[in-house]
Amino acid sequence: MNTNNQKMSSRRFAKTSAGNAAEKLISRQVMEKDDFVALLGDFGNQETGKRLKEEALRLRTQYYGRQVFARGLIEFTNYCKNNCHYCGIRGANRNAARYRLSQKEILECCREGYRLGFRTFVLQGGEDPFYTDEKMAAIVREIKRRYPDCALTLSLGERTRESYRLLREAGADRYLLRHETADEAHYRLLHPAGMSLENRRRCLYNLKSLGYQVGAGMMVGSPGQTLWCLAEDLLFLQRLQPQMVGLGPFIPHHDTCFATEAPGSVELTLYLLSIVRILLPGVLLPATTALGTLDPCGREKGLLAGANVVMPNLSPLKNRKQYELYDDKACTGEEAAECLGCLKQRVEDAGFTLVSGRGDARQL
Ligand code: SAM
């Protein structure tokens, strides 16, 4: 969705029911697609933006006080059998220098993370068949054996229900699987044949039914995205009621089909973070690295818009640059401890407190 379109839509919808849509959201009524369209069409209207941001902050304070949860992100493989058109580690990218972490290396990341105070670890990777259910379950079991007080989040992409069941049984608590877009045609534009929105949705519902705390989400400003796609995303989130939502701007990667596309808008991402906080008040909502990549103060702005999670990188320093989903990814060159110290300060400067602890989603 380019900026001109956004402005045009903004004017068009501002005349209709945008203000009403914001009030409807704030009064916690069930939103229809048209309500979301009107709300998104009002992006750029300062009054609505201010109203939503204030309400988002009020709710995040009601649910979580000033706390910001830190998750230790371990990017353990950049091999991927998929070919998502937007992603730098897509299987067809011959220029990606591939790596995999052994169980020992993953455990070493956790050891360092635990020492630094992390109590949630997020294991994220491309869809790498090397990590069979048996291998993955063994890793999960060992992490949970060593750190029973920690929550373990997996983000391994689409797997079978049986695979999710085994990993849950092994001790995994949470699973992040962004739906990417809830609009069928847009999904097909972003992904090759063979991948489907239907399967993505099925995976999310499977995860939910197995008792995982589930995270869905989307990129903001991905090629071909319209206001209607985003309205569909919000509708999907309203239906799914996930405990976590991953929401960050799209950023082009030079070795993908979308190399020359414009990045997503930081402002629109912030607007959406506020909307999601109001829609799902108890949600765990990261201020993403992508937001921090496009704007040096992006993560702080994300927290002030309603986010309450940050995910510093715990991957070995030598591999960080190789997990290159998009160009100029932030925080690939610092030691975990250094990165955490600086982040703690920045979170405090924004008026929040970085806390360790599992930080599960809250319901009031
Ligand atoms: N394979 C797992 C999956 O599919 O969920 C996890 C890894 S995947 C690389 C993690 C997330 O990175 C994706 O859900 C996607 O939203 C995000 N991502 C990939 N390429 C991106 C890009 N160019 N800009 C912003 N985010 C991107």
Q: Per-residue pLDDT tens for 191-228?
A: 999 999 999 999 999 999 999 999 999 999 999 999 99
Mutation probe of ligand 1 site: the residue of 73, 82, 86, 87 with most atoms within 8 A of C-beta:
87
Residue 235 has pLDDT above 70, yes or no: yes
Q: Give the mean model confidence (pLDDT) for residues 146-165.
A: 98
- Kindly tell me if the per-residue pLDDT of 277 is higher than 70: yes
**Domain spans, the chain:** 14-21+29-355
Q: How far is the CA of 87 from the centre of ligand 1 (A)?
A: 6
pLDDT of residue 19: 77
pLDDT tens digits, one per residue of 328-353: 888 777 777 678 888 899 999 999 99
Is the domain spanning 14-21+29-355 CATH 3.40.50.720? The answer is no
Task: Tell me how crowded residue 322 is: count the other CB atoms within 10 A of its CB.
Answer: 18
Per-residue pLDDT at 363? 81
| Distance from residue 9's CA to the centre of ligand 1 (Å) | 28
- Residues at CB less than 6 angstroms from ligand 1: 86-87, 89, 124, 126-127, 155, 157, 177-178, 180, 219, 248, 250-251, 253, 290, 325-326
Ligand 1 pocket mutation, candidates 225, 325, 326, criterion most atoms within 8 A of CB: 325
